[in-house]
Amino acid sequence: MTERIALACARHPRRTLLAWGVAVLFSMAVIVGFLGSALTTESDVTSKPESVRANGLIAGGFGAPRQRVDEIVVIRHEALRVDDGAFVAALSALVSRLTSVAGVESAPLPSDPGGEANISSDRHAVMIPIVLRDDSRSTIDELQGIVDQADAANGLTATIFGEETVNRDFEEVSQRDLEKGELQFGLPAAMVVLLIVFGTFVAGALPLLMAIASIIVALALVSLVGQVWELSFFVVNMLTAMGLALGIDYSLFVVSRFREERRRGKEPPDAIRISGATAARAVLFSGAAFIISLTGLLLVPDTVMRSLAAGAILVGLVSVVAALTLLPAVLKLLGDRVERARIPLVNRGGRGEARFWGRIVARVQRTPLAFLVAGTALLLLFALPALRFETGSNGIATLPDDLPSKRGFDALVASFPTATIEPLRIVIVGDAGSADVQSRAETLQARLRADPDFGSQRLDTPPSNDLLVLSVEAGGDPSGQEAQAVVARLRGEIVPEVFDGSGVEVLVTGAAAEGFDYVRLNEDWRPIVFAFVLGLSFILLTIAFRSLVVAAKAIVLNLLSVAAAYGLLTAVFVEGIGNEIFGFAQVEAIEAWLPLFLFAVLFGLSMDYHVFLLSRIKERWLQTGDNSEAVRHGVTTTARLITGAAMIMVVVFAGFARGDLVGFQQMGFGVAVALLIDATLIRGVLVPAAMELLGPRNWYLPSWLDWIPHVEVEPVELADETAS
């Protein structure tokens, strides 16, 4: 099929190019018109954890999802106290300006009823809780401007912090990370690797152009999908990095095979035909494996995870289509001009890499058991810190210090340690007029007043009188481990102590509780997604190579590289070993979504190398029947290509890791180190050692599975043709 597609596009190259040109231009128009409305900063869980059920009860009882403050302005003077005339005048002027903003519903003064709680214990600071009627970006920007003008005036410091300012800053940092990581680093670094691999500017630029076209079309698809299914704004960063990696890698395989066939004397049409039947077929298989791996993430009932998976799947699909259609057309038009603009002093034949890896494989094959044990032990050593692997959410506290929301958060915590934008809400489901319910609610209030982790309280009852809602402040970062521990203690210890045996259902919600449920959700779905990805990968590899042993070996080696990545992530980010070398923040936990996403992505991406390498090994095995020679041949003939493809992946995701958002730092580092391990230690040591020990048993398939169809990744008859 891929051969026919390549030939059809090569016969009509200008039509193919025109069709892609129209698609890219149309996609750019779609992106401009629809991308903004397709993305959201919200993270919704579509299952029904405790916090979601509690929010539903509050919404039903009070007619709104929750009662809350939208933003908090903190104004402080180190010398003046809040009742000094100059402080009062400055505060009144600031509140007057804040309430003049059309989108502001209320911004009470400390002198208003109940306002005494908004004065700090040292009486040098006031917080102004703001309720918005319009939380649009223009409202937030106007508020920020007013606060910035008040800051540093007359010795005052003024900051603003809240959900919308945090969302705005996350968006801005995400955009900044994209520019700094991928556009300023990833793209140029990938181009350098391509120039080294191909030795010519024209051949090196082709995969990059394919990747850019794929990213544009995939972003347009995301813009359209987002009109019916809201996607997280993080999808843009992830899609760009994945599009660069996949688009370049897939095109790299096809362009390399085309040039290889031209060097063997094949005419351009034959070179395109063979490339379409071999390299493009491997690309189709690798792309299918990647997409199948990522579909496991669509099972998770979370908008962020599904957004990242959808973006990766779409850009993977478009990258495959570009490699199968656009690239053959461009190669037909360029012909031997792909060899133009050669770069001096660059090894164009790849013989150096082949000799290097050939020597390593020969040494491994002499003592395979020793190398297998040593290599496995090294990976297990890397994986050891994963025994202390903790997931969580690194939220506001990990944002760069120069961001307004981070300054606002720090100011709030410094002056009002237990204050928060959204308190914890304890929903007591039962007759609010019942003496037993009232008594237990009072006991709970007394218990929380005596606990230093909790602040001010408020008890509300809806008109229906069928529940009580106790709002209690628990300060600090609601995403932090301390807040998560407070939620765990509230749900697992305090509430049961008070309500056990009452028959009353008690639910806890609020930002910290929602974060707690999000972490548990990812942990609960982890074994399901792992089993899904492992099972489909095993089936796919078994069909591709008609061998249970090869499939099982690939799965085990992939698991080792993923475990090593988890361990190194823990060592660097949580334990702080070498984090300053890379410029990473030391944090409390690995992002909750990362283990799942990393697992699926690494299994999908590593298929590139395994499929390409194993197809060459099997091809040689069927030709010669010599297992050792087949392994050496497979490793050496794919050395330059796999090294180049791996380095492109590594530099692209290293660009991701250069950003300021901790989640993307962790993802970029995790993918980069896992692929580096996969393309070096696993390809050069563990695969040859394991296959040498297994010998002909590598290709074992029981007779009862002989019904499995023959699906050749790179047809042997074409390999024979090219060899001749």
User: Which burial class, exposed, middle or buried, applies to 616 when counting CB atoms under 10 A from its CB (0-12, 13-18, 19+)?
Assistant: buried
Radius of gyration of the chain (CA): 30
Most distant CA pair in the chain: distance in Å? Answer: 95
- Look at strands 39-40 and 71-76 and give their pairing: unpaired
**How far is Cα of residue 634 from the mean position of the Cα atoms in its chain?**
33
* Distance between CA atoms of residues 377 and 375, nearest Å: 5
> Which residue type, as a one-letter code, is found at position 429?
V
**How far is Cα of residue 410 from the mean position of the Cα atoms in its chain?**
27
What's the DSSP call for residue 343? Answer: P
What's the DSSP call for residue 119? Answer: B
> Long-range contacts made by residues 59-64, C-beta under 8 angstroms, separation at least 24?
61/462, 61/463, 61/464, 61/466, 61/467, 61/469, 62/460, 62/462, 62/469
| Angle between helical axes of 201-225 and 235-263 (0-180°, round to 10) | 140
Q: Which of 485, 493, 477, 564 shows the shortest CA–CA distance to 519?
A: 485
* pLDDT, tens digit, 9 for 90 and up, residues 424-446: 999 999 888 888 989 999 999 99
Enumerate the H helices of 300-394 as residue ranges. Answer: 303-321, 327-334, 351-366, 368-383
Domains and their CATH numbers in the chain: 1-40+200-342 (1.20.1640.10), 69-155 (3.30.70), 349-401+525-724 (1.20.1640.10), 423-509 (3.30.70.100)
Q: Which of 203, 222, 225 shows the shortest CA–CA distance to 214?
A: 222
Q: DSSP readout, 448-498?
A: HHT-TT---EEEE--TT-SEEEEEE---S-TTSHHHHHHHHHIIIIIHHHH
Q: How far, CA to CA in Å, does 510 sit from each of 60, 234, 507, 591?
A: 16, 23, 10, 20
> Which residue type, as a one-letter code, is found at position 453?
D
> Which residue type, as a one-letter code, is found at position 309?
A
* pLDDT, tens digit, 9 for 90 and up, residues 617-633: 888 888 888 989 999 99
Q: Which of 556, 691, 701, 689 shows the shortest CA–CA distance to 616?
A: 691
> Which pLDDT does position 399 carry in this prediction?
84
CB atoms inside a 10 Å sphere around CB 719: 19
Q: Which of 81, 79, 112, 78 shows the shortest CA–CA distance to 95?
A: 112
Q: Which of 330, 331, 318, 258 shows the shortest CA–CA distance to 287?
A: 318
Which residues of the chain carry a pLDDT beneath 70? 46, 63-68, 344-353, 711-724
> Which pLDDT does position 724 carry in this prediction?
47
- Token readout for 569 is 């992530």
Three-state DSSP at 706 gives coil
> For the chain, how are helix, strand and coil distributed in percent, rounded to 5?
70, 10, 20
Q: Please answer whether residues 249 and 645 qualify as being in contact, where contact means their C-beta atoms are separated by less than 8 angstroms.
A: yes
Q: Which of 344, 192, 199 shows the shortest CA–CA distance to 263?
A: 199
Global pTM?
0.86
Sheet containing 157-162, strands listed edge to edge, beginning at the edge strand earlier in sequence: 104-106, 125-132, 71-76, 157-162
| Angle between helical axes of 279-295 and 268-277 (0-180°, round to 10) | 30
Q: DSSP readout, 549-577?
A: HHHHHHHHHHHHHHHHHHHHHIIIIIS-S
